[in-house]
Structure 1
């Protein structure tokens, strides 16, 4: 808390559970980015509400061109292995605050947290 008046969220961890991310979103603090590293078709089918799509093959290039290196970043996929690989790439590129959302989208959905759905185009 800042002077006991304004509470602050807990520090970003290298690995987060889905409810850690949900708590951070409920906090209302905008200084974070949620990145879905799955392919665009999967992203458009459904994704964590507020997430942006940066498929793994283009992740580092796009992140470097659009995000600050000190930005709080939450990464997810369908598997923890893909998420961990993406986190390694971002950390090696100089991003300091990267958290792997354990369980990814399946865990997020299992908790009943909000998702956005779209129409799959060209599939």
Structure 2
């Protein structure tokens, strides 16, 4: 019985750790439905490399490469922590890392985009080059 309890607790802790900081996640369809026209309190933050970003991006998005760790860290410190940031990357992995880092840095509203630009393009949503 003790072994079963230890296994269950270990599985729960592993699951919790792999979830990161449990910030909100939405799909690309949900992101596409959000009105961004004149609302500067909402920002799409693309955390891919500059080259990936140049190959196709969501119109109006901002680019900060999460792989440039020190630059990313200093750059997010300059952002308004009260805005809502919709964080996207190629597939959803780097954006999850970036979103967690932003939450740890004190950002109030950070949303990870599940599936990233791959899912955005697969859904035939507009891409700006």
- The two structures have a TM-score, normalised by structure 2, of 0.73
Computing the radius of gyration over CA atoms, which structure comes out larger, 1 or 2? 2
The question of 1:21 aligning with 2:31 is answered yes
Equivalences for 1:1-123 in 2 at 5 Å? 14-25=24-35, 29-56=39-66, 57=68, 58-65=71-78, 67-117=79-129
Q: Which runs of 5+ in 2 are unaligned?
A: 1-22
4+ runs deviating over 3 angstroms: 26-30
> RMSD between aligned alpha carbons?
1.7
Secondary structure of residue in 1 paired with 2:128: strand
Structure 2: distance between partners of 1:113 and 1:19: 9
Structure 1: distance between partners of 2:124 and 2:40: 22
Q: Which has the higher strand share?
A: 1
Q: Which has the higher helix share?
A: 2
- The two structures have a TM-score, normalised by structure 1, of 0.76
Q: Which runs of 5+ in 1 are unaligned?
A: 1-12, 118-123
Aligned residues: 104
Structure 1: distance between partners of 2:36 and 2:44: 14
Q: Could you tell me how far 1:114 is from its partner in structure 2? A: 1.2
